[in-house]
């Protein structure tokens, strides 16, 4: 059985930063995530996309943010259970918890921090009869590595930000990019809509509106799609890859059955104090929680992690009083024996 001070469910940015804040308090952490690697959505859905609202970074790619967080928490030697989903929870008589994954791995901790983002995600798939036959054989529901599409013919379906942004990005990667949308109007950012329009005029994006992909063709792998246009009817379009980007459906999964107060598919918390749930010892931070005035931003998750860890410390050590020290003063003492601190200034009298 894995034992730790704070068991973090979700290894996205908020979960990773929780490791750092807990480490400053000398609290050990372990993370569970259903994905095979840390980073959550940033690693799985858009590692190459830039983020513009992380303090101190005018622009940073999502994957680079995850890399930076992993480097930042390295001194605190967190444990990871990856590729497994937190399935059941049992509260013991002493108030601690045992969380078991879908693969039977047991974890024991006095504090649980649910940082599972919006929960687990499932892509919204178009209603094409044989689409399952082409999954991983030309059909993908997300883009992990744009280089896969280098010099390939790509058809993207959708009318939101993801469809627009990836059409723009792949215009300089793929040999041909076709964007298919069932309406003339798009739901994405205005500058992205305008950029796609410009690329269409330059012949770098083949824009087909008032249409949808209704069929897939190919013997062993995808080689073309069937497009149905409102006025022109059906026609076949060559394609090496078909990427329907219709969004993702978030689900809390088994956590929804843990006796927590749920509101609109999110966990309700007390934000006036410490982001605790209705179950003492269980906290929810990041996009997975909800409260009045909630902002689903990464930086909000970082703030909630810091507050939550202070409360967790008091729960684990009720008789101790922690005196907060700024890292600029106290530095960082890692569990691996490393220490980071500012160089001490040498005070020397001036000789006259």
Separation between Cα atoms, residue 32 and residue 82, nearest integer Å: 6
88 marked as part of a ligand binding site: no
287 marked as part of a ligand binding site: yes
Distances (CA, A) of 189 to 57, 159, 180, 194: 21, 11, 17, 9
Contact 105, 2 (CB under 8 A): yes
3-state secondary structure of 196: helix
86 marked as part of a ligand binding site: yes
322 marked as part of a ligand binding site: no
Helix (H) or strand (E) holding 350: none
Helix (H) or strand (E) holding 95: none
Which residue stretches of 74-173 are H helix?
Answer: 161-170
Separation between Cα atoms, residue 13 and residue 5, nearest integer Å: 19
100 marked as part of a ligand binding site: no
Q: How does DSSP assign 302-327, residue by residue?
A: HHHHHHHHHHHHHHH-TT-------H
310 marked as part of a ligand binding site: no
Backbone angles phi, psi at 236, to 5 degrees: -95, 135
Distances (CA, A) of 245 to 42, 120, 167, 206: 16, 17, 11, 17
Check residue 163 and report its DSSP letter. Answer: H
Check residue 176 and report its DSSP letter. Answer: E
328 marked as part of a ligand binding site: yes
Contact 187, 245 (CB under 8 A): no
State both tokens at 334. Answer: 């890692």
Known binding residues: 14, 33, 41, 46, 86, 121, 287, 328
Known binding residues for FAD: 14, 33, 41, 46, 86, 121, 287, 328
């Amino acid at each position: 059985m894995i034992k730790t001070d704070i068991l973090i469910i979700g290894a996205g940015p908020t979960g990773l930063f929780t490791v750092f804040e807990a480490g400053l308090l000398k609290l050990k952490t372990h993370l569970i995530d259903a994905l095979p690697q840390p980073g959550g959505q940033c690693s799985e859905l858009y590692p190459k996309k830039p983020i513009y609202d992380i303090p101190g970074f005018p622009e940073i790619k999502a994957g680079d943010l995850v890399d930076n967080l992993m480097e930042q928490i390295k001194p605190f030697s967190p444990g990871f259970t990856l590729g497994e989903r937190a399935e059941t929870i049992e509260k013991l008589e002493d108030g601690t918890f045992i969380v078991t994954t879908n693969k039977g791995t047991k974890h024991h901790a006095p504090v649980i921090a649910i940082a599972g983002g919006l929960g687990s995600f499932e892509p919204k798939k178009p209603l094409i009869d044989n689409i399952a036959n082409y999954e991983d054989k030309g059909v993908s529901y997300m883009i992990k590595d744009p280089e896969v599409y280098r010099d390939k013919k790509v058809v993207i379906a959708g009318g939101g930000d993801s469809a627009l942004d990836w059409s723009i990005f792949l215009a300089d990667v793929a040999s041909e990019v076709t964007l298919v949308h069932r309406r003339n109007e798009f739901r994405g950012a205005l500058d992205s809509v305008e950029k796609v329009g410009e690329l269409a005029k330059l012949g770098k994006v083949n824009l087909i509106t008032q249409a949808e992909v209704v069929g897939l063709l190919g013997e062993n792998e995808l080689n073309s799609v069937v497009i149905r246009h409102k006025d022109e009817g059906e026609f076949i379009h060559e394609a090496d890859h078909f990427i329907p980007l219709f969004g993702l459906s978030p689900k809390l999964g088994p956590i929804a059955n843990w006796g927590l107060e749920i509101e609109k598919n999110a966990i309700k918390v007390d934000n006036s104090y410490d982001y605790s749930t209705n179950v003492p010892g269980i906290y929810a931070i990041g996009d997975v929680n909800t409260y009045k005035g909630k902002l689903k931003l990464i930086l909000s998750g970082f703030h909630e992690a810091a507050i939550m860890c202070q409360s967790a410390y008091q729960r684990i050590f009720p008789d101790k009083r922690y005196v907060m020290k700024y890292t600029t003063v106290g530095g960082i003492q890692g569990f691996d024996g490393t220490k980071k601190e500012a160089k001490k200034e040498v005070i020397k009298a001036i000789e006259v």
